[in-house]
Amino acid sequence: MTQPSKFRQLLKVPVIVATLGYFVDIYDLLLFSIVRVPSLKYLGVPEGILLEEGIYLINMQMAGMLVGGVLWGVLGDKRGRLSVLFGSILLYSLANIANGFVTTVDQYAILRFIAGIGLAGELGAGITLVAEILPKEIRGYGTSLVASVGVLGAVLAYFVADLFDWQIAYFIGGGLGLLLLLLRVSVFESGIFKTVKEMPVSRGNFFQLFSSGKQFMKYLRCILIGLPIWYVIGILITFSPEFGVALGVQEPIVAGRAIMFAYIGLSLGDFSSGFFSQYVGSRKKIVLAFILLTSLFILIYLFVPIQTVGLFYTVCLCLGFAIGYWALFVTIAAEQFGTNLRATVATTVPNFVRGSVNIITPLFLTLRSEYGIIQGAGMVGLLTIVIALLALWKLSETFGKDLNFLEE
């Protein structure tokens, strides 16, 4: 097969649908962070506890994603990648429509939890499907395409939330998801999975990941290399208005705008990391470069004097670019494990990273009360970077790996 025909495979229907699915997923995932302040004020939450209530709701959403990560991952290996793509988007679309009708914080929390369960399935199933249907020579381009276009859903979420009130923004997100279900009808299942489905082998056994120390450590390392990504999103970007005040920025920082710039950077970073990993012929080297770049921009964000909003948003964009190894990190997880566990791993790994917010935010709040918001955030950031580097050190290279194998 000639090289041009291989690249035309990037435009296969499953790749396009997985990309659009992740686009809607990111819209709905980040919408709460964008409308956090106006929605909580509408529900009567006092100004002084907007941060605490916001963390509570984000933690509920992420707890749902932890549950959903395991649920959809196991289903993806037992029933197929497509069952997850259909089921997850239906659940989170309906939950996000319901978010527009909440009248109390507790109702909001329950629906963010349900939405989190639904949102957990999209990326892992999409990456697994794309990785299995594309030739290994261009696999990295395919998964980067899914992620780099998909994360731009955050940009759409910002503009929709800016044009309409927060309830309408939720309705639009849910509606986009339901429309996407119509496209899913034309998607075909992974050939690799269909072959394994006919074999007498255990599929989607989550506890198999803990069957040996070696297996567990490989799985744990896949998770830990992604910690800095969600530290940046869940702490520095989500709570950018509070950091703006602490840093002495001259004008108020709008969380939605910070998220938009960060996700534009993330889109560029995902595309770049995928391209460079293909060019260099290594996943690990590029992930290392991006983790080091992330640490540099964390230092700039927290400790370099930033007086203007324009400069602040520019740093947010640079932070987004630096954590743009998100697609590569999920691709590495998918490539580490056999077909009978691949969806379980590729779906649980990013959601356990997202769920790490439930550990990172309480730690941040504790250190903030002791050392202040800037020093506290710096300590947490340093911890995530060190852990990620140690995890990457022992992780095996997966570039060009044949995915047609099983975990015994």
Specify the CATH number for the domain of residue 65. 1.20.1250.20
Token pair, residue 324, equals: 């743009």
Mean pLDDT rounded to a whole number for the chain: 88
pLDDT value, residue 185: 64
Which of 88, 86, 80, 82 is closest to 29 using CA atoms? Answer: 88
**Amino acid identity of 389?**
L
pLDDT at 224 over 50: yes
229 found inside a domain = yes
192 found inside a domain = no
Q: Please list the alpha-helical segments (H only) found in 164-254.
A: 166-184, 191-197, 213-224, 227-231, 240-247
320 found inside a domain = yes
The dihedral sign for the CA sequence 196, 408, 72, 383: negative
pLDDT tens-digit readout, 170-202: 999 999 999 888 776 666 666 666 677 777 677
Tally of structural domains, the chain: 1
Q: What is the dihedral of CA 4, 5, 11, 12, to 10 degrees?
A: -160
Residue 17 belongs to what domain range? 3-185+204-394
pLDDT at 302 over 70: yes
Q: How many CA atoms lie within 13 A of 339 on its CB side?
A: 23
285 found inside a domain = yes
CB 384 within 8 A of CB 360: yes
Predicted TM-score of the model (pTM): 0.85
CB 180 within 8 A of CB 52: no
199 found inside a domain = no
Phi-psi region of 164 (alpha: psi -120 to 50; beta: other; left: phi over 0): beta
pLDDT value, residue 1: 42
pLDDT value, residue 154: 87
pLDDT value, residue 194: 67
151 found inside a domain = yes
More confident residue, 384 or 1: 384
26 found inside a domain = yes
CB 328 within 8 A of CB 125: no
7 found inside a domain = yes
